[in-house]
Structures are given as C-alpha cells and as structure tokens.
Amino acid sequence: MLPERLTTTEPALAAALVAYVDGVRTHPALPAGLLDACGARIAWLLAGRATGPTAPAAHRDGAASDEPTADEPTSDETAAACLAFAEQFVLDAQALDERTVGRVRDAVGDAGYAVLALGVGLMEGLVRARLAWGLPPLPPPADAPEVPR
C-alpha cells in the first residue's frame, strides 16, 4: 500500500509506517477488506472517476453515469455505511452528519468507527501522495504481473 518512493525517502520511518498502515488495514474492529474497499472508493473519487478495478461495481464497465450515491443498493449495510462515510470524508469532511456517523457506529461500534475514521484519513493521504507522484492511485494487486519500467 505504501509507495516505494515514500519508504525509500524516509527509511527511518518505513518500518513504523508499514506496521501502522497494516495495523489499521487489518484491525479486528472492522470486517476484513472493508478498509481496502474504502481505499478503492477514495481512489476512484480522487483519480477523476476513472473506470476499472477502483471504480464502484456499477461503473467498472465504463458506462456513463453519475457518481455513486452513499445509498447505492447493497446487501451489506456495514459496507454501505462505511463507504458512505469514506465518500463524505473525502468530498467534504465538515459535512459529515449524525446520520452518516450513526450508520457507521450502529454497524461497527465505537471502536470500528474510530478505526474507520483513522483508516479513511490514512487511505486518502496515501492515494493523494501516489497521485501527486504520478503513480496509480492504488498499487497493483500482489498477484499482478510485474510491469517493466
């Protein structure tokens, strides 16, 4: 998740950063993979709403449509609540309201809400750093073939 440019620029912080990012991403207060899904949504929002694996499912085929809403249909209320929080946090954190925060707290509790808030801020910062350095908003999957430079 951390750009190599960041870890090589600040080697003294690299181990701590890796441990922190991994600790937040895998914290037991949130369902496995949920923070990564939020990171993908953040990448989609900040990278110009491109299609592809970082786009919400309804937008992966390149169909022209508006951005997804926080209430898009889903069978998983926890994911829907957390994705809505991530979207609002990135677009206008000052506009986060009691309804959005309440949905998250109802779904994952106070500890989950705290981890989500930290994680979403962390994911947003990492996506913005990657974009500023001309990197893809998210690293390629671990099993992706290596691309020559």
Considering the domain boundaries, does residue 114 fall inside one? yes
- pLDDT tens digits, one per residue of 102-147: 999 999 999 999 999 999 999 999 999 889 988 888 876 554 444 4
Considering the domain boundaries, does residue 149 fall inside one? no
Considering the domain boundaries, does residue 18 fall inside one? no
Considering the domain boundaries, does residue 68 fall inside one? yes
Considering the domain boundaries, does residue 1 fall inside one? no
Considering the domain boundaries, does residue 93 fall inside one? yes
Considering the domain boundaries, does residue 62 fall inside one? yes
Q: CB–CB of 116/38 below 8 Å?
A: yes
Residue 87 is part of which domain span?
23-133
This prediction's pTM: 0.75
> With pLDDT > 90 as the criterion, what percentage of the chain qualifies?
50
Domain count, the chain: 1
Considering the domain boundaries, does residue 38 fall inside one? yes
